[in-house]
Structure formats: structure tokens, C-alpha cells
Structure 1
Amino acid sequence: MIGLHVRKTLKGSGKNIELELSLDIKKGEFVTLYGESGAGKTSTLRLLSGLLTPDLGNITVDGSVWFDAEKQINLPSQTRKLGYVFQDYALFPHMSVRQNLEFALTKEQASTIVVELLEFMELLELQDRKPMSLSGGQKQRVALARALVQQPEILILDEPLSALDYAMRVKLQAYILRIHKKFKLTTILVSHDIGEIVRMSDRVVELQEGKVIKTAATADFFGLNKASAKFKFTGEIISIQKEDVVYVVGVLIGNELVKVIADLAEVRQLAIGDKVYVASKAFNPILQKI
């Protein structure tokens, strides 16, 4: 169990944000932090990891106190049992793939964990290559593997897949889910991609101006339980065109464009750029705004 109950004043170029967090995460959960840019999602990860120090409050993990302002307890980030994966990989360019993983070993650790992770992440054939010679997806697999070297209990992911194309994102989402289950991790993800969130998360926590404004199981959060359907896909509306007495709504689902017939009442609630799910009910396609 993670208990994050802290306050922190974040100084911005425009105005200060008062981060006031009261968040509990169950052991083994996969939770996504969701919200607009500047809501405090990355700062929340940095507070948990020890890269940012709260002004007030406490952080506990499985009964162990990581931070307590009143008792003046603040564990250094390197002693907190978590792995951190960034969007920009943060690999050492002068080191090979294997050396990047070995650098994360503690003095007490055997190197067998490096071999295990190279095999698990399908990196054995790449172990002697430098990061500059790798694709974005390969670099992110190395970053994921390196984050697991010290066998953390918590994995935190700060938009790790946002710079990748759709096909690679889907592949790495599968890797992350395998990692989450195999190593029995508690995983916290920051993402704006609704399809990614729906595929991966148990629960979504929405932040706005530094505060938790909504938290719910993923399907409930996005309203995916409101309709009984044979199938459901998430997508983004990219076109709305009138044809005779009906409208044709173009929805981008992954790399595929799906066209759905809608009436005026449905179209009035929709706009280009809206996130929706496309479902089938009684053999009729339906659109629901997320």
C-alpha cells in the first residue's frame, strides 16, 4: 500500500500551483494519473521518488515511512525501492545496452539479474550496441529493463511511450503489462492516451491544479460500462460530414479510419478531436463521447 498525503508549492512562470495530494494505492495495482498539462502529474511521481521534497505531510509504503515532514524523515531517492522510466529514455550514450543495465546494479547484487532482464525484454542480440544505434522502441525496452535491475516494488512511468508510433506503443504496452504481472509490481503511469489507459490500467486518478478531483476503476471513469455492447473500441473523431439526412462520423482507431452513421441528435454532442468509443448494440454501431 502506498499512502501519499502531502502538500507542495510549485512555482511556475505564470502562477504558483498548490499541490495538495491525498492518494492511496493498493499493492499490485496499475494506476494511471490523468489530467491536463500542468495539473501536477509528473510532480506527484517526483514526490514519491524523492526527486522533489514535500513541504508538509507524509509518504508511506507498506508501513515503511519514506517521508514525514514533522518527524524530519526523508529517505534518499536511491534507497526507495522503485524504478523510474522517463519519456526521453535517459540512457548513457557511451555505454552499451548491457553496461547501461550493469550500471544500475548495487554492490551486493549478482549480475544474473541483468542476464534475466536481457532475455525477458528480448535484448540479448542488442546487448553490445550503443543507444545511438537503437530505435525508439528498443531504447525504451532498455530503459524499462534498467529500471527493474534493482528489483523494485514500484514502477513509475512518466509518459514513456508518447514519442513512439502507434504500432510500437501497442507492442511496448504489452511488455509493460508483462513486467507488471511477472514482477508483481505496483505501477503508476502518467498518460494522456485514453486507448493506452483503457488497455493497461486498473484505476484512473484525475488531477486538476494539483488536486485529485476524480478516481475510479478505468471502465467506470471513461463510462465504458454505460452500454451493453458486443465490441468496444476507443478512438478520436477526425471528421463529421453530412450526407443527405444522416451524418458520417470518421473515427480514427489506431491506424484505421472507421466511418459510423449518426443522426443529428448524436452529432450535436460531438466535435472533431473528441475521444469516443465505438460500440455495437443490437447490431447497430453507436458512438459515446468519453
Structure 2
Amino acid sequence: MLKISLQKQLHGAIGKMNLDVNISISQGEFVALTGLSGSGKTTLLRSLAGLEKAQGTIEVENEIWQDTNIFLPVQKRKIGFVFQDYALFENMSVLENLLYVSKDKKLATHLLEITDLLTLKDRLPNTLSGGQKQRVSLCRAMMNRPKLLLMDEPLSALDPQMRIKLQNEILQLHKEFNTTTIMVSHDPSEIYKLSQRVIVLKDGKITDDGKAKDILLKTTGSAKFSFDGKLLDIIKVDVIYIAIIAIGQQIVEVTISSQEAENFKIGQDITVSTKAFAPWIK
């Protein structure tokens, strides 16, 4: 069981705010941490890792990592941390990056086999693709058999095909090592596929906590479909107005009224929903 009770003043998107989080996470649980930028997600991860200090307590499997008298340094917390920017040692080969954490060559070989990297074990990071670098980073994070695996948007810079491959490998490693995993992500499909639980942060506070299906499929009123997006442009065509909206990686056009065209602002975050819609999938 992981017990977290942390407080810290932050400078977020709305100015000063207080990170105030109290949660318990079961051993072996996969938790997705999501919410708007500046809501405190990365600060929470870094505080768990011991990379930042916050007030409060952290207890992992009955071991105190932090309280009023104790603050374990990073190297004494049995964690794995996967950064968005890989953070590999450029002067070390793939295998050496792993063995730097632990001299367990059998484990390193096993991890490289799972992630299809064994044939690249003698290569330097600057000769690898982004996806290969992130897989090395993931393997390195697992080298000390962490009690807690922390991932800060690890797949956001990768193409969709590579993201799917790494999602499968992350899930495989999570299950094999029975590691408690907390991953920051903004990708609904990624969250739905990987996590058993979703925690939503807003302005430093938890606003939602539940199963991925329950959190991600929430809609307002009687809406059948609901998507969050950003308004890119409003175009008038004859007597109608068309809103150009970015939803995830897609750009869509939606017809709006003249009143909506006056009230909406370019760059605004909006929700697109429909009450009666029979989808066609092909």
C-alpha cells in the first residue's frame, strides 16, 4: 500500500495555488494521473521520487519515505522514473546504461529481450530512434525492481504506432514485476488501455478518482458523445458559420450558430457533444 499526504505551494496556470493530495494506492495498481497543464501532476511525481520537497508524509509498504523527521534521498527510495526526455547517459551503451543502476546482467538481458533491444545492447543512445531510447529508459527504470514506477508523459513525443508498441511493453513489465505504477498522461486512449484507476488533478486538488471507464466516459446531460478540443478558427460560409476544432490529433469542422460565433473566442478550450448520433465505423 502506498499512502500519500502531501502539501506544497505552487505557481500554476492560475497563479499561486496549493498542491494538497491525500490518496492511498494499492500495491501493484496502475494509476493514471491526468489534468490540465500546471495542475501539479509533475510536482507530485517529483515529490514521490524525492526530487522535490513538499510537506506531509509518504509511506510505501509500511516503510516511511517522508514525514516530519524523515526524508529519504532519491537513491534510498526504491523507485524507477521514466522521463519524457529519456535522460540516458550518452557516453554509455544501451547495456551499460542498465548496468549502471544494477550489475544484474541477467535482469538487463531479460528486459532488453522483452523490449526487442537485445541486438542494440552495444549501441550508444545517439544512434537510436526516439522509441528505442524510451524503451532503454523504461528498461533502466526497472533495473532495481522498483516498488514504485513513476512515468511523466513517457510516450508523448512518439508516433502513434510506436506509442502502441511501448504501451504493450509497459503493461507487460508492470504485470510481470507487479510494480505499483503512476503515469502522467493526457491521452485518453492510453489512459483507458493501461490504467486500472484514474486520478484527475485541477489546481493542485483531486477532482475525480475512479476507474478509467467511469472517468473518461462521463458526459454532460443526455449527450451521447463528448470530446474536449481547442477552437482554431471560425469561418463564415454564405449564411452559416463553421468552427474549426482540434480534438486530439484530428481537426474537425462543426456548424455553429451566429450567436455562438460571436461568443466563442479563437484559442478557447471547448467541448463538442451530440445528443443523437449513430456512429458509422469502418
> Shared fold (TM-score greater than 0.5)?
yes
- Counterpart of 2:37? 37
1: CA distance, partners of 2:21 / 2:172: 29
1: CA distance, partners of 2:245 / 2:13: 37
**Percent identity among equivalent residues?**
44
1: CA distance, partners of 2:117 / 2:102: 17
- Counterpart of 2:17? 17
Q: Secondary structure at the match of 1:157?
A: strand
Regions of 4+ moved over 3 Å: 11-15, 224-227, 233-241, 248-260, 272-278, 281-286
Indicate yes or no: 2:67 matched with 1:68. yes
- Counterpart of 1:114? 108
| Matched-pair contact (CA < 8 Å) for 1:154–1:185 | yes
CA RMSD of aligned residues (A): 3.8
1: CA distance, partners of 2:52 / 2:96: 28
Residue 58 of structure 1: CA displacement? 0.8
Cα deviations by residue, 1:91-117 (Å, 9 ceiling, x for unpaired)? 0111110111111116xxx32211221
Residue 59 of structure 1: CA displacement? 0.7
| Matched-pair contact (CA < 8 Å) for 2:12–2:39 | no
1:237/1:75 CA distance change after superposition, 3 Å: same
2: CA distance, partners of 1:275 / 1:144: 35
Residue 186 of structure 1: CA displacement? 1.0
What is the number of equivalent residue pairs in this alignment?
Answer: 275
1:105/1:39 CA distance change after superposition, 3 Å: same
Residue 223 of structure 1: CA displacement? 2.0
Counterpart amino acid of residue 166 in structure 2: L
2: CA distance, partners of 1:273 / 1:199: 29
1:86/1:256 CA distance change after superposition, 3 Å: same
Indicate yes or no: 2:25 matched with 1:28. no
- Counterpart of 2:174? 180
Moved more, 248-257 or 90-99: 248-257
1:259/1:284 CA distance change after superposition, 3 Å: farther
Counterpart amino acid of residue 63 in structure 2: S
Unpaired segments of 5 or more residues in structure 1? 242-247, 261-271
Cα deviations by residue, 1:173-216 (Å, 9 ceiling, x for unpaired)? 11111111111111101011111111111111111111111111
